[in-house]
Structure 1
Amino acid sequence: MHLRPSQIYFSQAEINNRFDRRSQHSFKNLGDTLDDLVEGRCRISDIPTISVISRNGKWVTADNRRLWVFRHLEKLGKCTTIPVMETYHIDFRKLTSVNGGKTVRFYTGRSATGRWHHQVSSIDPATTSSRQSEADDQNVAKNTFTTSNLSMLRPLTSYDQRHPQRGYSDFSDFNTAITNLSLSTSRTIKRLDPFIVRYTKDTLTITSYFENLKIKIRCNVDMENIDPITVYKVFGKYWVTDGNKRLWAHKEARSFDVGLCIPVNVKEDKDEFLEIMRKDRPWLSLIDILQSGENIQTIT
């Protein structure tokens, strides 16, 4: 099956600006990949096939970064249709789009490098892209791809093949899926500087998993698959409850990247927060709590 990139909708509201290590373009910025395609240093056949799922008359993909590249290629006149593979499952944690999947933005502090994406004013299918000069138009015309260039795309393993244990959930439409995700709506998910979030533990045992997570975050690898942590906004501060070790990994990585943020699910229930804090330490006073959480002792 072939579709125009503009017929495929994003599932996420935000994406990383680099491909992850599982890609042939591991750690490469999306903008640089776009430039390589436009200028002939890379073939479209090097990009794995996008998987799509049908929802209420829309084709939606979890392969958001690849779609970002293909949407730009289409706007630049570099491709008309691309081969896609239909699947029947999608990781519903990725259904975070708040505009029906028309566009996507980068995580806070992230951006695309390269130059060709600047020639596209918007990747919204409803808008017409304008380029900056007649010379750019001529360059695009000389490098236009045809659908024959796309025939050798490698298939990407579908989500149901990667996760056969997951059951099929039938949402009537894309927006309903978003509404049913308590951790994925714009009303609950925020991105915060890790340094302003406080711990709720005194000590942490850091295993190799969290050491590797720290490296992954620092290298911007697979960031979109890192689950948000739950924080409570009380007494004018943010406090983590279910993700102290993940917060530690983000804080360590934040030391090397001033723009790094952590995805959080924010609650503002003071009584619930105090109940959690005093569950194993009933002796804690309010002053004890307010003076804690800025530093932590780690055990490796």
Structure 2
Amino acid sequence: MTTHKILVLPGDGIGPEITAEALKVLNAFSSNTRSFTLRTELIGGCSIDAHGTPVTDAVIQAALDSDAVLFASVGGPKWDGVRRGLEGPEGGLLQLRKAMNVYGNLRPCISPCKAVTREFSPFKEEVVEGVEYLVLRENCGGAYFGKKVEEKDYAMDEWGYSAPEVTRIARLAAYLALHHKSPTFSNNPLPIISLDKANVLASSRLWRRVVTETITTEFPQLKLTHQLADSASLLMATKPRVLNGVLLADNTFGDMLSDQAGSIVGSLGVLPSASLSGVPGEDGKEGLKGLYEPTHGSAP
């Protein structure tokens, strides 16, 4: 019997409600050879109310000691204007991601069936039919974790990346491109489309250079193209199939464009998200810690 330790973090708003349903699915996978040990803790606004902090050291340690974390959502109007940044409800999730080093955030989006498209999607069926994205967002660097300055008349967010941070996310993109089998691509490797703003941002120029070096040197069999993030947003709204493949982006652009991808199916509420701490099988790793959640927020 293999027992998996799962840390459950329902969080705020709609979080507890959807967590209850997710646990029904998880329990359905229990068997004579596999079981789950669940530990439920607070995060986000409810943790601020109870402990004065969006995530406690004990919860972070519990996450590190678990095989996986099942997270729902944080935040809501109750805490708006009271605490922001790492001290606000969302800061609990950011701190958890950083502590777990789950740097690769995978957010898939596949065009729904025609009935769902007609009911929920703002797009015509023929526009979104055949869309298949694997959005891979760098999850532990960039503007969300950089130095902050917030004064009355001036504010600043440091948006920086190191070459090793970009290299590791590029390698994870390559793994996904090689191992995700899809009829859309005749079971061939997926193309990688790297999104940036290399025309204006220094961090994006480093991003583009390191992604290019990593893929062309280590994975020459893969197709890599670069796309400015703002024009990618336009393509997603007008010719979404053009972007089919692995969409590789930094923290900020990945956050925005994966949310925009929700419009294809009509709601962020049905899109999943997995944050991984490495490349499966790399350096002999048999298992990886992961943080699993819906893409949507707390829906206050």
TM-score of the superposed pair, with normalisation by structure 1: 0.21
Structure ID, larger Rg: 1
Structure (1 or 2) with the greater strand fraction: 2
Structure (1 or 2) with the greater helix fraction: 2
